[in-house]
Amino acid sequence: MTRFPDVNWSNVKSPVVATTAIAGVLGVWLWSRWKRDATPTAVPDTVQLGRRSDEITLIGFPRVSDVVSSCSPYVAKVEAWLRFVGLPYTRKNGAPSDSPKGQLPVILHGKNTIGDSYFIIKYLEQTYPEVVMQASPEEQAMSVAVQHLVDDFLNKGLGYYRWVHPEGWEGVKRHFLKEVPQPMRAWLLERMRPKVRSAMTIQGLARHSERDILWMLDEALAALSAILGGKKYILGNQPCIADACAFGFLDSVLFDTECIAPELREAAMQYDNLVSYTERIRCAYFEGELTWEETASFGS
């Protein structure tokens, strides 16, 4: 933990000198904090293979509003994929500190702890190769392209309309972290919001006007709608990883009516095939499930 440097204040007599000393101490402290935060932490490579007999535990954030899986599109992505391929798992709520990468979702699988939705799915595909969908190179390329469209852009828009937009932020303050008592809950959320805003500014999305952001997101939604077309799923009659990504995003956008500003939902609802697609997955894989129950098990 970074500490303020020790200063013998009894030797400081002039107000000007005192002010300069305080500024110097504060500058050194801020520089040390910046250096600590700017220094990348070494993260070990993700484990590639696990034991097939081990149980899968998915740790994620709880749902909000009428979302059927989780308020996090990345947690919902992993849960949807697990249901698509029929792997049994247990789920429970957690915190970013449960993950080696400081973010959810994370899975526990025997002695292995795997973070990040991308690596979770890759790890499980390596461990259970029979669940890997057989696809042509062109289909695989389309799946990867959709994954990046959703994970690397559309989900950033979801975060913007939830955490940065004033109307979404008001909903977050009312409905997120309900299990944490006040005033700790408000303090945690107020600490989280600047980090989200800063990340989106660095990424670039938050540098644009509201109208320009919605313009870009609508173009991406139109592309997703065109790729889906009249098909049941993105690659045809069987859901793939790209469908898990798309569902994680769309379920929050369309059914979180409390913590996402309405502009994004209204943009998504222009595309009837995306709406019916989301409802179809909810009915086929999450029917009757409107809670993220602690220790609930599926598929066993």
In CATH, what number is assigned to the domain containing residue 85? 3.40.30.10
| Structure tokens given for 135 | 């696809």
145 and 123 within one domain: no
Domain of residue 275 covers: 137-284
Per the domain annotation, does 235 fall within a domain? yes
Q: Is the pLDDT of residue 17 over 60?
A: no
151 burial (CB, 10 Å; 0-12 / 13-18 / 19+) is: buried
More confident residue, 96 or 132: 132
201 and 116 within one domain: no
Provide the mean pLDDT of the chain.
Answer: 87
Per the domain annotation, does 51 fall within a domain? no
What whole-number distance in Å separates Cα of residue 148 and Cα of residue 188?
30
Q: Is the pLDDT of residue 36 over 50?
A: no
Per the domain annotation, does 2 fall within a domain? no
88 and 163 within one domain: no
Per the domain annotation, does 209 fall within a domain? yes
151 and 253 within one domain: yes
What whole-number distance in Å separates Cα of residue 180 and Cα of residue 201?
28
| Structure tokens given for 38 | 């700017």
Domain of 146, CATH number, reads 1.20.1050.10
Stretch 196-216: mean pLDDT, rounded?
94
Per the structure, how many domains does the chain have? 3
Q: Is the pLDDT of residue 16 over 70?
A: no
In the structure, what pLDDT confidence band is assigned to residue 8 with cuts at 50, 70 and 90? low
Per the domain annotation, does 4 fall within a domain? no
240 and 145 within one domain: yes
Per the domain annotation, does 252 fall within a domain? yes
Q: What is the DSSP string of 229-278?
A: TT-SBTTBSS--HHHHHHHHHHHHHHH--SSS-HHHHHHHTT-HHHHHHH
DSSP bridge partners of 92: 59
What whole-number distance in Å separates Cα of residue 17 and Cα of residue 209?
44
Report the candidate in 50, 200, 192 with the shortest Cα–Cα distance to residue 119: 50
Torsion of CA 139, 142, 144, 145, to 10 degrees: 170
Q: Tell me: the pLDDT tens digits for 119-132?
A: 999 999 999 999 99
105 and 215 within one domain: no
Report the candidate in 73, 78, 39 with the shortest Cα–Cα distance to residue 157: 73
Per the domain annotation, does 61 fall within a domain? yes
273 and 199 within one domain: yes
137: CB partners within 8 A, 6+ apart: none
Per the domain annotation, does 278 fall within a domain? yes
